[in-house]
Amino acid sequence: MTDFAHRALLPAGLRDMLSPDAAHEAGVVERLMRLFAAQGYDRVKPPLIEFEESLLDGPAAAASAQTFRVMDPQSQKIMGLRADMTPQVARIATTRLARAPRPLRLSYSGQVLRVKGSQLRADRQFAQAGVELIGSDAAAADAEVLVLIGSALFELGVEGVTVDLSLPTLVPALFAALGVEGEIAERLRAALDHKDSATVAEIGGAGADLLQSLIAAAGPADRAVAALQALPLPPAAAVERERLAQVVACVRAGLPDLPLTVDPVENRGFEYHSGVGFTLYARNLGAELGRGGRYLAGGLEPAVGATLFMDSVLAALPAPRVPGRVFVPAGTSRAKIRELHDQGWVTVAGLDDGADVAAEAHRLGCSHWLGSDGLIDVL
Amino acid sequence: MTDFAHRALLPAGLRDMLSPDAAHEAGVVERLMRLFAAQGYDRVKPPLIEFEESLLDGPAAAASAQTFRVMDPQSQKIMGLRADMTPQVARIATTRLARAPRPLRLSYSGQVLRVKGSQLRADRQFAQAGVELIGSDAAAADAEVLVLIGSALFELGVEGVTVDLSLPTLVPALFAALGVEGEIAERLRAALDHKDSATVAEIGGAGADLLQSLIAAAGPADRAVAALQALPLPPAAAVERERLAQVVACVRAGLPDLPLTVDPVENRGFEYHSGVGFTLYARNLGAELGRGGRYLAGGLEPAVGATLFMDSVLAALPAPRVPGRVFVPAGTSRAKIRELHDQGWVTVAGLDDGADVAAEAHRLGCSHWLGSDGLIDVL
């Protein structure tokens, strides 16, 4: 069969991960989870499927079109296959762990499935790994999550990590103060999304100058915060601006090497966020490494979290180091094999006493074979 | 809300795994996968869902009633959520890796979902971890898999591991030689399944004595093999017996401490096996730790594999050691926090400069807090 035919055995957007990629992904996920656990983020594991009504509750309803559904013959109710783990972790925090002391720190990793691939991510199944910090409204909480994720990516060896901060609550606060609403609000929102300063000037009325200044303020965080601080914002919008400045200052203090940019009018993908949102990128990688931000868990409790998309994280890392393989002839003692493992070798055992050991080692892709006097190079 | 109401948020048989269980399970899975990888078992990761026609191909059709199905809007075809990973790994071996050198050693771990829980396993989602050794017909291959799994369970610290060997090809070979078929074969099969020696005597005809001797031969492996070797088996059945004796001898040589029993008439759950099958148990644990045996991958290629059920493996292990937690006041340096991590502590950071550190440490369940002169016990 051709490789094409082999691939065609699986539905589009779903794939078999082979060696060494599958082991590499699992190793990177566990390394992340250890880093999260060291900072007190307790690992939880929600199920792959749950009732649609709880899986798509509140803001999570946005994932409805991306969610596969199955009928549960036991309860006769519809269940959904999770397309995102964040709502599940928020559910755990606000129900089973409702009485656990706050702030509550949770971490998670697992597979998610989506009905359709996107332009940036053709895969319909990928792994997530993330953290949620629930029950604190402090800017220090936003910063803790960003510093944790940023330093974890540094530690993994991802090069050229950058964070784009957005403030999806700023424009709504400004619209409310300026009395912008209805169709004009929608058109302005679309113009801001496209950084279309000309249209903003044309239809922005009394707020046009301010909104154009917001578009122009986008850029490296220190400069953007300074530009925003020079603007005459109405009180509610000024509160949002102050919060952004605090988060930037806290992240700077915690992880000075993490490049931060700010886009004060960016809103897409952050429609349900209640404060600073952020997207993580790596140099030369088209897809997002992850995203996160502040939201209300269960619609009530202040929370901030971040999720890494493992396919992107893996793509941003160098290829894994593959350990050397030693062919060990049939009958080699367990003690000798264990010694080789302790030295970092992978062993491949012969099953047939009479085989030509050197030929078998070569055929099976081993770099060495075990002779009576030690390891011998495969020629 | 009561605990009952919290549980009721999830469908029966599905659950949230919390701390420390979720981290424990992941740690044990990764330890197993490292042990498998050290012996040359390359990790693969098939998708959670694939086309029903490939997922339930051949012997895997037995899992049909346990498989959730979803429609793929992209291909307009039915996909199944895997209820078992072994058929997926066999598919990978016989298609994408058809040209990889044999024997091919593959390992895997992941979640599986089943439509209904069973009496022994109420959970409808659980994790599997396993190995497949494909392309060798040698008894040494059966033994390699059994020794690998047995020694892995020893290394994890599972106490009282035992292996029940079965030989599902023996009775069919005997029936064929004796000309037993049709309804009488079915009734005899059922009687053998229930170790119902009286019925076997009554309806067994010319084979009654032999079949009763097979029932009586069940027990510790050395004794059972000796008892079988004393029986006047027809040639095809004698070949099966010889194979069992070889596998027992190889496992004894490789892992003398692994207790083996043999039940020569056991067939249930091994209907599709083409040679020795086995079930792993732990003392005082009702559920199986795992199972495996010899089969034909893709209906053609000799293969042997084993799967561990992680819920059972976890239940057979002592509770995980939970690392101590240190509360570190807001503003503690990253260098100091890293030092604590290197010493094996989990740190829980304060978010508020002005908080009462000792009180916060206590409230957050920490055993210590970090004072200016070092760690202080929480009273």
Is B281:B164 a contact under the CB 8 Å cutoff? yes
Domain at B11, CATH number? 3.30.930.10
Point out the domain boundary residue: A289, A315, A341: A315
Residues A27, A46 share a domain:
yes
CB nearest B144 (choices: A69, A75, A351): A351
Rg (CA), chain B: 26
Assess if residue A361 is contained within a domain: yes
Assess if residue B249 is contained within a domain: yes
Residues B24, B95 share a domain:
yes
Point out the domain boundary residue: B288, B307, B322: B322
Residues A104, A81 share a domain:
yes
**B289: nearest Cα among B308, B266, B269:** B308
Assess if residue A121 is contained within a domain: yes
Task: Give pLDDT, residue B4.
Answer: 44
CB pair distance less than 8 Å for A38 and B341: yes
CB pair distance less than 8 Å for B113 and A48: yes
Residues B88, B28 share a domain:
yes
Is B50:B79 a contact under the CB 8 Å cutoff? yes
Residues B183, B283 share a domain:
no
A74 CB near a chain B CB, below 8 Å? Answer: yes
Residues A26, A52 share a domain:
yes
CB pair distance less than 8 Å for A49 and B68: yes
> Does the pLDDT at position A29 exceed 50?
yes
CB pair distance less than 8 Å for B1 and A95: yes
Show the tokens assigned to B65. 């009633």
A51 CB near a chain B CB, below 8 Å? Answer: yes
Task: Give pLDDT, residue A86.
Answer: 94
B87 CB near a chain A CB, below 8 Å? Answer: no
Residues B333, B273 share a domain:
no
B142 CB near a chain A CB, below 8 Å? Answer: no
> Does the pLDDT at position A4 exceed 60?
no
> Which residues on chain B are in Cβ contact (under 8 Å) with A298?
none
Is A165:A221 a contact under the CB 8 Å cutoff? yes
Is A264:A214 a contact under the CB 8 Å cutoff? yes
A71 to chain B: closest CA residue: B68
Higher pLDDT, B299 or A39: A39
**pLDDT classification of A3: cutoffs 50, 70, 90:** very low
| Per-residue DSSP letter, B324 | P
Task: Give pLDDT, residue B8.
Answer: 52
At A127, which amino acid appears? A
Report percent pLDDT > 90 for chain A: 89
Assess if residue A203 is contained within a domain: yes
Query: What distance in Å separates residue A198's CA from the closest CA in chain B?
Result: 40
Residues A244, A363 share a domain:
no
Give this complex's ipTM: 0.95
Assess if residue A320 is contained within a domain: no
CB pair distance less than 8 Å for B50 and A14: yes
CB pair distance less than 8 Å for A37 and B81: no
CB nearest A22 (choices: B15, B43, B113): B43
**pLDDT classification of A8: cutoffs 50, 70, 90:** low
Residues B251, B217 share a domain:
yes
> Does the pLDDT at position A1 exceed 50?
no
CB pair distance less than 8 Å for B346 and A38: yes
CA distance A322 to A325: 9
Q: What's the length of chain B?
A: 379
Show the tokens assigned to A304. 């901030």
Residues B151, B10 share a domain:
yes
Task: Give pLDDT, residue B118.
Answer: 87
Rg (CA), chain A: 26
Assess if residue B164 is contained within a domain: no
Report percent pLDDT > 70 for chain A: 98
Task: Give pLDDT, residue B62.
Answer: 86
Domain count along chain B: 3
Point out the domain boundary residue: A287, A315, A343: A315
Show the tokens assigned to B174. 């005997």
Assess if residue A9 is contained within a domain: yes
Query: What distance in Å separates residue B347's CA from the closest CA in chain A?
Result: 5
CA distance B223 to A72: 48
CB nearest A50 (choices: B11, B47, B363): B11
Q: How many CB pairs below 8 A link A and B?
A: 228
At B230, which amino acid appears? A
> Does the pLDDT at position A263 exceed 50?
yes
Residues A227-255, mean pLDDT to the nearest whole number: 97
Show the tokens assigned to A292. 């996160």
CB pair distance less than 8 Å for A140 and B13: no
A352 CB near a chain B CB, below 8 Å? Answer: yes
Residues B140, B36 share a domain:
yes
> Does the pLDDT at position A379 exceed 50?
yes
CB pair distance less than 8 Å for A18 and B75: no
CB pair distance less than 8 Å for B18 and A97: yes
> Which residues on chain A are in Cβ contact (under 8 Å) with B54?
9-10
B-contacting residues of A 107-126, CB under 8 Å? Answer: 108-111, 113, 115-116, 125
Assess if residue A61 is contained within a domain: yes
CA distance A283 to A301: 35
Give the structural domain span for A370: 325-377
Angle at A62 between CA B7 and CA A266, to 5 degrees: 130
Show the tokens assigned to B127. 């994790």
CB pair distance less than 8 Å for A22 and B1: no
Task: Give pLDDT, residue A162.
Answer: 97
Query: What distance in Å separates residue A23's CA from the closest CA in chain B?
Result: 6
CB pair distance less than 8 Å for A111 and B111: yes
CB pair distance less than 8 Å for A11 and B49: yes
Residues B250, B303 share a domain:
no
> Does the pLDDT at position A220 exceed 90?
yes
CB nearest A11 (choices: B22, B51, B95): B51
- How far is C-alpha A314 from the chain's CA centre? 11
Q: Which residue has the tokens 């559910």?
A: A91
pLDDT per residue, tens digit, chain B (379 aa), is 444 444 458 999 999 999 999 999 999 999 999 999 999 999 999 999 999 999 998 888 888 999 999 999 999 999 999 999 999 999 999 999 999 999 999 999 999 999 999 888 889 999 999 999 999 999 999 999 999 999 999 999 999 999 999 999 999 999 999 999 999 999 999 999 999 999 999 999 999 999 999 999 999 999 999 999 999 999 999 999 999 999 999 999 999 999 999 999 988 888 789 999 999 999 888 889 999 999 999 888 999 999 999 999 999 999 999 999 999 999 999 999 999 999 999 999 999 988 899 999 999 999 999 999 999 999 8
Query: What distance in Å separates residue A112's CA from the closest CA in chain B?
Result: 9
